[in-house]
Amino acid sequence: MEIAFVMLSFAVDAPAGIERSIAALAAGLHRLGHRSTIITATPSKPFGPVALVSLASMRLDRSLTEDALLATLASSGGLAEVHEILESLRPGVICWGDATWGLGFAAARHGAARNVLMVHVMRDDPLVRRALAFGPDRVLVPSAFVLKQAVSSGFDTYRWSVVPNGLLPGPDDASRPYGSPKASGPIRLVARLEPQKGVEEFLVASPRVVGRPIEVVLAAAGFEYFAGMQESVERRIRLVSRDVSTVRICPPLAWHEVRPFLSDASVCVIPSVEPETFGLVALEAMSVGTPVCAFDLGHLPELLGEAGRLVPLNAGSGGLWTAIDELLSDEKELAHRARAGLSGSRPYTAENAARSFLQAVLS
């Protein structure tokens, strides 16, 4: 079967959860014998066996706000080109990757193809309402947390299904030994440049003497909520990092480098102050046996289980540092959390994500 994904911000190594989850899903579908095509407006290198179709009418080579994206679509003819590509592909399933960046708000029927809308982050605004009013055959969310948010917002979720994210296979997964706790390793963070990720506050709360490196990977995505957001966040984080002698801001990572980077850490910190609707970085840390410290928000409590330490948001970043200190001072607990992560992450393969997708879409 041919499955078409529409995600204008998709690019290999794009530092964003939706793009990475779509990549894992497409890879899993390929392994199950299906063909996937991803329609994008962002320059990208090839993506293995998955076909990437780049729009000729528009090219997104810098970060845009949602308003800027809509203006570019209106002036470029990008919408018409997407529908022309879909007409030529004639896929069995069209997956609109987001209400805005995945063009769910402008979805249309193409032959007998089943239309699927992905909602990775629950919103209630005119574009989401338009995407849902189109009447997709299925709406897919990454976690029960998002489904509960939809119910609380008054949406009819009769045709909504949970399809958990999968782990994108890496080239060295089979050869690299993951799983032994690294009690003396660095504290590591991987985060997009967004205020809600809480990196600045976490570093501000750092104890005067940490005793080990704090290594932070920051990356700019193709979207931002207001113009200059990512530049502003990075500037503030770099200023704060100068006051903490053990902090090192690392270069951005390619997708296949994220899990090896986390595998060498003693602990992975996710200081997000808003709920994570899935928690892909947490899952990647779990899969390499690295315990996670985070706030008890969103889907993280269900995802992590015993694989990390969770603290209430009102404990603030100081509470995260206390949890980190307690965890790293107890090697027995550290080993337990590592084993729990390895065990808990095993079901989240790309193939299982693809199976869940097919079961939801074709039912």
Tens digit of pLDDT for each residue in 15-56? 999 999 999 999 999 999 999 999 999 999 999 889 999 999
Same fold, 2-166+348-362 and 187-345: yes
Structure-token pair, residue 23: 């990549």
Q: 298, 313 in Cβ contact below 8 A?
A: no
With a cut of 90, say whether residue 120 has pLDDT above it: yes
CA distances from 31 to 10, 172, 174, 304 (A): 20, 17, 16, 27
Q: What is the dihedral angle through the alpha carbons of 288, 290, 296, 301, rounded to the nearest 10 degrees?
A: 40
Is pLDDT of 183 > 60?
A: yes
CATH of 2-166+348-362, one of 3.40.470.10, 3.40.50.300, 3.40.50.2000, 3.90.110.10: 3.40.50.2000
Closest listed residue to residue 302, CA positions, set 199, 195, 162: 162
Where in the chain are the domains? Answer: 2-166+348-362, 187-345
CATH fold group of domain 187-345 = Rossmann fold (3.40.50)
Q: Which helix (H) or strand (E) element contains residue 95?
A: strand 93-96
pLDDT score of 293 more than 80: yes
Contacts of 232 (CB under 8 A, 6+ apart): none
State the DSSP code for 293: E
pLDDT over 60 at 188, yes or no = yes
* Least confident interval from 103-112, 114-123, 206-215, 306-315: 206-215
* Beta-carbon contacts of residue 166 (< 8 Å; ≥ 6 apart): 21, 24, 25, 28, 348, 349, 350, 351, 352, 353, 354
% pLDDT > 70, the chain: 96
Does position 176 have pLDDT exceeding 70, yes or no? Answer: no
Residue whose structure tokens are 């899993």: 28
Inform me whether the pLDDT recorded for 174 exceeds 60: no
Q: CA nearest 10: which of 2, 163, 18?
A: 18
**Residue that is written with structure tokens 């299925």 in the block:** 138
Backbone angles phi and psi of 44, in degrees to 5: -155, 150
Q: What is the pLDDT of residues 227-268, one digit of tens each?
A: 899 999 999 999 988 877 789 999 999 999 999 999 999 999
Q: Starting at the earlier edge strand, list the strands of the sheet with 138-141.
A: 51-54, 35-40, 2-6, 93-96, 114-118, 138-141, 160-162
Mean pLDDT (the chain, rounded)? 93
What span, in angstroms and rounded, lies between the C-alpha atoms of 128 and 131?
5
Per-residue confidence (pLDDT) for residue 175, from 0 to 100:
54
pLDDT of 292 strictly over 60:
yes
Residue 344 is encoded by which pair of tokens?
Answer: 């808990």
**Do residues 127 and 100 touch, judged by C-beta distance below 8 A?**
yes
Q: Are 151 and 157 in contact (CB under 8 A)?
A: yes
Closest CA to 329 of 243, 267, 269, 275: 267
pLDDT, average across residues 210-220: 90
- In this prediction, residues 104-131 reach a mean pLDDT of 95
Q: What is residue 195's predicted lDDT score, i.e. its pLDDT?
A: 94
- For the chain, counts of helices (H) and of strands (E): 13, 13
